[in-house]
Every structure is written in structure tokens, then in C-alpha cells.
Structure 1
Amino acid sequence: MWSSVIAVAGTLLGGALTGLLQSRGDRRARQAARADEKAQALRAALGELVAALGDHRRAMWHREVLRLDGTDPDAFEAARNASRATRSAVTAPLVSVSVIEPALAQTARQAAEAAFDLRDAPDRATLAARRENAITATDTLVAAAGRAMA
């Protein structure tokens, strides 16, 4: 009789242990899947943000060169409308990066502000310096993202 009780108890304990180990394994798998999804979303948002910042820098460079050269008002207005569109395109990926990885929010914001700062440069030398600053800020964002995702 004792051997039957021990056999039943062993079977029950073995089943409980197996269930516990399987539950832990499933939890780890879900956590790993969530981490992979987050990393994939962050990579996509960063790619979109870096591309949007580059587009905005180019549009602002063109716009400001036209302004500094005193070009035709219609050409300047077209460039201004283009720069507004590119600035608007920065917003969604900037928010996405900030929400997905809050540790990158400040760096991402600084990169965006550096691109926005190309506006109203007093001369070409200042414009070129601001452009370099914006490129450096974007590079800093990419490096920070690499560290955050490592």
C-alpha cells in the first residue's frame, strides 16, 4: 500500500514540476518575443526618423540658400512649403522613438531640434556649421540607439 501511495505522490509531484517548468519556459519565450518586437519597432522608427531628419536637413539647406541668395520669391515659397512638409514628417517617428525607448527621447529631440535650427541662418558659413551640427546630432542619436539596443 505504501508503495502505491509513494507512486501516486511521485506522479503528482512530477506532473506539478513539469507544469511549473513549462510555465516558466513559456513566460521566458513570451518575454523574448516581446523584446524582439520592441527592438524591431525601434529599428523601424529609428530608420524613419533618421531618414526624415536627413530629408529635412536637405530641404532646409535648399530653402536657406535660396533665402540667402535673395532668389525669386516663388522659388523660395516652394522651398519653404517643401521644408514644412519635411519638418512635419519628422514628428511621427520622433514620437515613436520616444515612446518605444524613453532613454532615447532626449537625444532624438536634440537631433530634431538641430535639424530645425538651420532656419534663419545669417550667412552661408553659419548655415554650414548648423548643418554639420545637425548631422553630428543625428550620428549621436544613432550611436545612442546602438548602445540602447545592445
Structure 2
Amino acid sequence: MQRTALRRIAATTVALAALGAGALATAGSASAATGKNGVLETGEFGLYYNSNQGGAVFDLFLSDANFINDYFAGPGNGAGQNVNDNTASYKNRDSNTWWVYTNADAGGIEGSIPAGYSGNASTTFKNEISSAYYYKAR
């Protein structure tokens, strides 16, 4: 009787360990957006150095209250340039509206870019954006 109980415990332990290992293996295969890597992925908001979504991109997955230490990444015109007050167009690949501001910390003039929308920055925002949020910050 004791041997049967020990065998059941051992079998259950092995089964649970295999199940846990399988869960860990599949958890690593899920893809998630990676902000600030120079690739505009699904779920991100991108600011471009040039008009018409051209040149290098600054891709955000999370809000950024101050672009002063951020740089355009990826290939294209503007790669390595500072993002602060240096963007000409945008694309929203997120399911949320993104809010941009002409000053850091949601200061200055506020604008919104709806989910799925892309375009060129208006004269008010061209080369003036300094912060962005995936929610209305004020």
C-alpha cells in the first residue's frame, strides 16, 4: 500500500513538472511589442523623423513624459537624432488613442492620435512634440 502511494506521488510530481515546463516553453513564444527599438510593431505608437512616416522612427509601447534623452532608432534619415521637438509624422498601431504634448510632462498644447491613424504633424505639432501618453494625461 505504501509503495503504491509513493508511486502515485512520484507520478504526480513528474506530471506537474512536465506541465510546468510546457507552460514555461509556451510563455516565451508569445510576442510582445518592444518600445524604442526602431521598429513600429502592433500595439505601439510611432513618431517619425520625416513626413509621410519616413526616416527613422521613435516607437513607444509605454508613455514617455520627456523626450529630452530619447533618440530615433532604426534605419533611415534621422537615426540617432534627438526626438524632442524633432518629429514630422506619426503612426498609431495601438488600440488606444495616444496623446501628444508640445512640452514635457504633458505641458503645452495637447493633441490626440486615434487608434490606427497615421499622418503628418500639423504646423502646431511639427518639430514641437516633447511627450506622449497612451492616455489623456491632463
Q: Fold match, TM over 0.5?
A: no
TM range (shorter): 0.3 to 0.5
The structure that is helix-richer by fraction is: 1
TM-score (norm 1): 0.38
TM-score (norm 2): 0.40
